[in-house]
């Protein structure tokens, strides 16, 4: 189908975007990469009066590194994240997740900020931001807010973003050497939406894992963490019995909905498979490093 009729503007300054947002409110939709928005327009699920194209606003572009964090501009594309050496060094979880996002033609246009703003529970970036303790930088004519990922996603396609705000960037704390991350996803066909996925992070420590964050994709109405399972993993040194205990906990903690192809038991089983894969990888790498220390 074709989109309904709308007007179009392409501002070149952030100040113009903010004043238009303030004046137009809900009548305006922000057009980032358009890879979701244009689909919803084509299907007539959305009928905005005005589309504001953000492609010419320089403040929304680029990946930069500061002392404390990696800053990913809202208009950075999925492909730019995938290709970025800075991301690979400081947030490798994102590098691992990027190839799972749709297909190259979509990754060439779709944006990091657009994905965060849409808040799809089946999308990769929201879960990654949650696992990495990221922050959403939202700006309006009223000022700037820094919103923790944990507070940003509030429900099905719902976020804490106000009607006059836009995301200018996301900030991700830069990793120390001890931060372990793993990205796991199952889809029926490469590039399809995830049946279930996991963005995991933890701090390796000699006695037990610390700050374990397991962020799940496709397991509920929003990207969500399994905190009880995280606590199990923080309770003792990582071992095969501890992984079994964590998986048992996970199966009682997650409450996914069935989708068109997978029942609730199937999704729970697959979530457990992903957690097992992620932790097996970690266990193998820890035993190797312990062995090399003993030598």
Partner 1 sequence: MSNALHVHITVNGQRQAQAVLPRTHLVDFLREDLGLKGSHLGCEHGVCGACTVKLDGKVVRGCLVLAVQADGREVQTIEGLSESGEIRDLQNAFIRHNALQCGYCTPGMLMAASELLETNPHAGREEVRQWMSGNYCRCTGYQAIVDAVCEVLDARLTAADKGALA
By CB under 8 A, name the binding residues for partner 1: 1-8, 10, 31, 34-35, 38-39, 41-43, 49, 51, 53, 55, 79, 99, 102-106, 108-109, 189-191
Q: Judged by CB, which is closer to partner 1: 191, or 265?
A: 191
Q: Judged by CB, which is closer to partner 1: 36, or 182?
A: 36
**Nearest 5°: phi and psi at 284?**
-60, -45
Residues paired with residue 181 on neighbouring β-strands, in sequence order: 201
- Closest approach of partner 1 to the CB of residue 130, in Å: 26
- At 11, is the secondary structure helix, strand, or coil? coil
- Closest approach of partner 1 to the CB of residue 197, in Å: 17
CB crowding 281-293: b at 16 or more within 10 Å, else e: ebeeebeeeeeee
Closest CA to 38 of 23, 53, 26: 53
Q: Judged by CB, which is closer to partner 1: 6, or 157?
A: 6
Cα angle at 190 between 187 and 196, to 5 degrees? 15
Q: Judged by CB, which is closer to partner 1: 4, or 237?
A: 4
- Closest approach of partner 1 to the CB of residue 215, in Å: 24
Identify each DSSP E strand in the chain by its residue range. 7-9, 28-31, 50-53, 63-65, 69-73, 135-140, 143-148, 153-155, 158-159, 166-173, 179-186, 196-203, 210-217, 224-225
- Closest approach of partner 1 to the CB of residue 67, in Å: 33
Tokens of residue 212, six digits: 């374990």
- Closest approach of partner 1 to the CB of residue 116, in Å: 19
Q: C-alpha distances in angstroms, 12 versus 9, 15, 167?
A: 10, 9, 16
Q: Judged by CB, which is closer to partner 1: 81, or 282?
A: 81
Q: Judged by CB, which is closer to partner 1: 106, or 273?
A: 106
- Closest approach of partner 1 to the CB of residue 87, in Å: 18
Residues paired with residue 71 on neighbouring β-strands, in sequence order: 64, 171
- Closest approach of partner 1 to the CB of residue 295, in Å: 35
Provide DSSP, 36-61: THHHHHHTTS---SEEEE-TT-GGG-
Q: Judged by CB, which is closer to partner 1: 102, or 247?
A: 102
């Amino acid at each position: 189908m074709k989109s309904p009729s709308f007007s179009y503007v392409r501002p070149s300054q952030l100040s113009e975007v903010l004043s238009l947002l303030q004046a137009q409110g809900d009548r305006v939709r922000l057009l980032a990469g358009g890879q979701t928005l244009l689909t919803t327009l084509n299907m007539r699920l959305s009928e905005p009066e005005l589309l504001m194209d953000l492609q010419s606003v320089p403040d929304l572009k680029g990946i930069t590194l500061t002392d404390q964090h990696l800053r990913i501009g809202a208009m950075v594309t999925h492909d730019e994240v995938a290709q970025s050496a800075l991301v690979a060094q400081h947030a490798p979880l994102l590098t691992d997740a990027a190839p799972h996002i749709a297909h190259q033609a979509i990754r060439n246009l779709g944006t990091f900020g657009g994905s965060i703003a849409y808040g799809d529970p089946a999308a990769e970036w929201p879960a990654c931001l949650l696992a990495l303790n990221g922050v959403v930088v939202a700006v309006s004519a009223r000022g700037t807010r820094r919103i923790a990922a944990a507070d940003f996603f509030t429900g099905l396609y719902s976020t804490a973003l106000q009607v006059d705000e836009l995301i200018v960037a996301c900030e991700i704390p830069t990793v120390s050497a001890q931060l372990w991350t793993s990205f796991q996803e199952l889809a029926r066909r490469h590039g399809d939406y995830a049946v279930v996925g996991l963005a995991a992070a933890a701090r390796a420590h000699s006695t037990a894992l610390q700050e374990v964050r397991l962020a799940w994709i496709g397991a509920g109405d929003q990207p969500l963490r399994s905190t009880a399972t995280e606590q199990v993993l923080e309770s003792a040194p990582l071992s095969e019995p501890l992984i079994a205990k964590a998986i048992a906990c996970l199966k009682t903690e997650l409450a996914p909905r069935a989708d068109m192809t997978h029942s609730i038991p199937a999704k729970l089983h697959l979530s457990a498979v992903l957690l097992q894969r992620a932790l097996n990888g970690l266990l193998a790498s820890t035993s190797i490093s312990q062995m090399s220390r003993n030598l």
